[in-house]
A and B are shown apart, each in its own frame.
Chain A
């Protein structure tokens, strides 16, 4: 199948010493991020995109990272894949099994990236190369990490395309990306991510650009990819519906930090952080008849160059008091094991009758004017 075209690929041969034990069984989390910080120096000042984020994920688990634009969700993922521009200042630790990913040489990183930790990006048109056939791009992922004949890699590619639910995989493999619809392209990207049986799949807003019926298909494909490979999935999204469907555990991010972390049930039913509560209260619901107004969170997310003192959510928080602005609260455990929150007043959110409407209703003026502009 050399007529399929494509540039020659050199299989990675000879494992480098650092990751010699990559195939030995490993206990504990497959991916662990500790105190990750990412800063971007700009003309306006230093953008503190990620400010001390820690989490870990086990094999077979779905961890959702949820938050609004600019919360630092994607930057976290790009940092641990080594995909940020060189101007970014990164500190902390990100370990795949027992291998430190931050600061790794690209040559070594390439043995992990794509093979052990795969990534699915938001926009399938920019993550596929427009001048190569789809089948070749999937086969390339196989060839990069395994010494197999091209014919075999191509057959594996067709098999993978079939697995992610593409109707005519043979024909699709022969197509160029522009000949496929957005949903088909995203499926091809998931096939690339599955190609090497990875331990972790990081999906960054995998369905945001897609229609709901296609989104349902893609989430099915992602669930299938996880079942087939047994991988851990890190799902980055702003859609709480997708989180409710997919996630085992959830990290809620705000202004570059994790502000609440717990199981999906903890986050949705035992919310202990006003921001999370505000997000849930501002969502219009498909499954509930309208009976009351939505409860918006007043104001807008803070500038990442010039953060407010103390808790970054304090300017928008209905429960704010003086202690909140004195010091940024740490992530502390709540009454449930494994459920943490970065709010000093979390106890007041426990118990019945403390919904978003009660907490935010009083203060949530619809007045956007008090927001700092620019």
Chain B
């Protein structure tokens, strides 16, 4: 079990104890007062170039996938990151792990800005942060046995201690260790996802980025994987960034939730704040659109139906990015309220206590409204 001793701190002591920049926290998470965040993201930006030109390839535009987002994740908690397709939530996850290099901004893990770290030093941090992918069919190499798949990260980091270790990991994720020499095609979707989780926890990481880990599974299977993730978090003290579009799963698993729209976080708060008193019109529309599996309740609900589709992230609206589809703004205008500020000034992600909002929401007219 040398791995366990080696794993928790594979980082130079000088790095780990480097003091975190003492800068004002912009209300990006209440969090417990004591512990330092495991992960600190500040003004993270990722733009992807769009190439064009007939003869010479040149950059003609930029997809603003992530446009300056900030949040903290504290040890042992689960932060849910939700939003619709194309809002930049997966890019955020990949930018945190440095799988895509951020255009600008800061991603601090234990006080070290990973965007400034390269090569072997980065690899040492990587073993503390692992990723679980959405598609359990595409994310496992069909020509490798389960033993090889789970042992691969251990081999890469030179701490592979033999097959018994792989069997133990399989037991831990609820797989039969006797199946260690089978191949991915012999497993169902739920079992494959468990293999993906075993591979991710093999190095005893501290942070897991879970990118839609249960979206491809049928509900009866999904529940088992969700429970497994909760058990592993308790047993191994893991911290999760849980990226999903399914707001019901996020309500079940997350401690805090951040809602993204068009590359920005529009609202962030504890689970109770976000689901019981959502303050941003987009969050309210999103929650009200999810049908609940209870006919009487569902048929009595008021739905906020958004018109149109999200604008292109190549050319997002100025100031408030949601204003072009905002039902709240339309309602206010109908009442004769002047909403020109929505088009002139970008709303900051901050607490607006005067309107009765106790958590940060990026809306000039934020107001809690229960919709579930």
B174 close to A (CB within 8 Å): yes
- CB-contact partner of B179 in A219, A247, A294, A373, under 8 A: A373
Interface readout for B282-297 with A: 1 if CB under 8 Å, 0 if not?
A: 0001111111111111
B219 contacts A287, C-beta separation under 8 Å: no
Cα distance A364–B305 in the bound complex, in angstroms: 38
CB distance from A270 to the nearest CB of B (A): 12
Indicate whether A239 sits within 8 Å of B218 (C-beta atoms), given known contacts A216-B305, A284-B251, A369-B176. Answer: no
Cα distance A343–B170 in the bound complex, in angstroms: 35
A residues near B, CB below 8 A?
68-69, 167, 181, 183-184, 211-217, 219-220, 238-245, 247, 264-265, 268, 278-287, 289-290, 293-298, 300-301, 364-371, 373-374
Residues of B contacting A289 with CB < 8 Å?
Answer: 272
CB distance from B280 to the nearest CB of A (A): 14
Q: Which 3 A-B pairs have the closest CB atoms?
A: A369-B176, A241-B291, A282-B223
Other A-B contacts than A283-B223, A285-B292, A300-B221, 4 sampled, CB-CB below 8 A, are: A243-B293, A284-B248, A285-B248, A368-B174
Residue of B nearest to A241 (CB): B291
Cα distance A141–B186 in the bound complex, in angstroms: 44
A244 contacts B293, C-beta separation under 8 Å: yes
A241 contacts B292, C-beta separation under 8 Å: yes
A366 contacts B219, C-beta separation under 8 Å: no
B220 contacts A371, C-beta separation under 8 Å: no
Indicate whether A366 sits within 8 Å of B188 (C-beta atoms), given known contacts A238-B218, A244-B295, A245-B299. Answer: no
A296 contacts B176, C-beta separation under 8 Å: no
B85 contacts A296, C-beta separation under 8 Å: no
Residue of A nearest to B218 (CB): A68
Indicate whether A212 sits within 8 Å of B286 (C-beta atoms), given known contacts A238-B218, A296-B221, A369-B174. Answer: yes
A212 contacts B372, C-beta separation under 8 Å: no
Residues of A contacting B179 with CB < 8 Å?
Answer: 369, 373
B190 contacts A268, C-beta separation under 8 Å: no
Interface readout for B249-270 with A: 1 if CB under 8 Å, 0 if not?
A: 1011100000000000000000
Cα distance A302–B354 in the bound complex, in angstroms: 57
Indicate whether A368 sits within 8 Å of B224 (C-beta atoms), given known contacts A68-B218, A211-B245, A244-B298. Answer: yes
CB distance from B114 to the nearest CB of A (A): 31
Residues of B contacting A240 with CB < 8 Å?
Answer: 219, 293
Indicate whether A295 sits within 8 Å of B223 (C-beta atoms), given known contacts A287-B297, A367-B174, A370-B176. Answer: yes
Residue of B nearest to A264 (CB): B295
**Which of the four size classes fits the interface of chain B?**
35 or more
Name the prevailing secondary structure of the B interface residues: helix
B231 close to A (CB within 8 Å): yes
Cα distance A217–B226 in the bound complex, in angstroms: 29
B221 contacts A293, C-beta separation under 8 Å: no
B185 contacts A374, C-beta separation under 8 Å: yes
B residues near A, CB below 8 A?
84-85, 174-177, 179, 182, 185-188, 190-191, 194, 218-224, 226-228, 230-231, 245-249, 251-253, 271-272, 275, 285-299, 303, 305-309, 372
B298 contacts A245, C-beta separation under 8 Å: yes
A293 contacts B230, C-beta separation under 8 Å: yes
CB distance from A175 to the nearest CB of B (A): 13
CB distance from B290 to the nearest CB of A (A): 5
Residues of A contacting B220 with CB < 8 Å?
Answer: 68, 278-279, 282, 296-297
12 A–B pairs (Cβ distance < 8 Å), ordered by A: A68-B220, A213-B305, A213-B306, A216-B289, A241-B291, A241-B292, A244-B291, A244-B294, A247-B295, A268-B295, A281-B223, A300-B191
CB distance from B245 to the nearest CB of A (A): 7
B252 contacts A284, C-beta separation under 8 Å: yes
Indicate whether A239 sits within 8 Å of B221 (C-beta atoms), given known contacts A373-B182, A374-B186. Answer: no
Cα distance A371–B174 in the bound complex, in angstroms: 11
